[in-house]
Amino acid sequence: MLFSRLLREEKGFTLTEYVIGLALLGMVLQGGYMFSFYGERSYDQTAEAVADRAESAAALKHITKDLREATTISEVDPRLAVADKNELTLYADIDNDLEPERIHYDMSNQSLTKEITEPDNTGPPWTYPNNATSNVIVNQRLKNSGNEPIFRYYYEPTNELTNVPLNAADRTEVRIIEVHLLLDKKDNIAPEPFSMSAEVFMRNVE
Determine the Cα–Cα distance for residues 73 and 92; give it in Å rounded to an integer.
Answer: 9
- Dump pLDDT digits (tens) for 91-139: 999 989 889 999 999 998 888 899 999 998 887 888 899 888 888 777 6
DSSP H or E run through 83: strand 80-83
Q: What is the mean pLDDT of the chain?
A: 80
Strands of 87-92's sheet in order across:
80-83, 87-92, 101-108, 111-117, 133-138
Count of C-beta atoms within a 10 Å radius of residue 79: 22
- Dump pLDDT digits (tens) for 14-39: 767 666 766 777 777 676 666 665 55
- Dump pLDDT digits (tens) for 151-172: 999 999 899 999 999 999 999 9
| 38 is a domain residue | no
| 34 is a domain residue | no
Give the strand pairing for 159-161 and 194-201: unpaired
Helix, strand, or coil here: 53?
A: helix
| 23 is a domain residue | no
pLDDT on residue 109: 86
Q: Which domain holds residue 180?
A: 44-201
pLDDT on residue 45: 59
The secondary structure of 161-183 as a DSSP string is E-SSSP-HHHHHH--EEEEEEEE
| 151 is a domain residue | yes
How large is the average pLDDT for residues 33-53?
Answer: 63
Asked if 55 contacts 47 with a C-beta cutoff of 8 angstroms, the reply is no
Count of C-beta atoms within a 10 Å radius of residue 143: 14
| 3 is a domain residue | no
The three-point CA angle 150-188-42 to 5° equals 105
Q: What is the torsion angle, in degrees rounded to the nearest 10, for the CA atoms of residue 137, residue 140, residue 145 and residue 151? A: 0
| 127 is a domain residue | yes
Q: Number of structural domains, the chain?
A: 1
The one-letter amino acid code at 182 reads L
The three-point CA angle 147-149-155 to 5° equals 105
| 12 is a domain residue | no
| 101 is a domain residue | yes
Comparison of pLDDT for 205 and 89, the residue scoring more: 89
